[in-house]
Amino acid sequence: MDIKIAFDIDGTIGDLYTPLKELLEDDLGHLLPPAEQWSLENAWNLDKDYLWQFIEHVMMNPHLIQHFVGVPTIMSLLTYFNDDPVQFVTYRSERYAKYTKDFLNGILYDIPYNVVHVSDKSDFLLENGFTHYVEDRRSECLKLAGNGIITFMPCFSYNQIDGHVDNLIQLEDGIIELLTYKELFTGGLN
């Protein structure tokens, strides 16, 4: 089987959660527990507009976002075995395209990549022949896996899934665990 993989950005290759939580704690004056759900409707039971101010601040200041361990290595290996650029598919608005590019350039340097801003990841991935996707949002992972896309999910406090789900692979050690899936790095990509 030819493998065609794409990646989400926030929570998958970049840690938006930690600087967001730290900024909120500083503003609120107290520590927040680890988020058990990740969405604007229920993250720490904060007002959606209040929370969005901080999300936007972090996205517009890409120096605040650290990449997860192994990201440059994984992307470099993928491009080595694949003539195509690394593909990112995100819900980030095109309004943040400059900041997204600044973040990616800061970690990928000369590794070629494309970013596609979409309103429905599943539709885009299926229409464009993607077989694999890396995503952290639990609801999105379940939707993608249910549509037959093999979905890798780096595990965090906010996205745990108990039990087996077809086409869903939970990465307990984060995105670095992709290196154990040799089929991704042995020329099986198209």
pLDDT digits (tens, 9 = 90+) for 85-123: 999 999 988 888 999 999 999 999 999 999 999 999 999
Question: What is the reported pTM?
Answer: 0.90
Band (41; pLDDT cuts 50, 70, 90): low
Q: What is the pLDDT of residue 159?
A: 82
Considering the chain, tell me which residue range(s) the CATH 3.40.50.1000 domain(s) occupy.
5-15+66-185
| CATH code for the domain defined by 5-15+66-185 | 3.40.50.1000
What's the CA gap between 77 and 110, in Å, rounded? 13
Q: What does each C-alpha distance from 110 to 18, 86, 100, 104, 164 come to in angstroms? A: 26, 11, 15, 10, 38
**Which has the minimum average pLDDT: 2-6, 100-104, 155-159, 163-167?**
155-159
Rounded to an integer, the average pLDDT of 46-71 is: 92
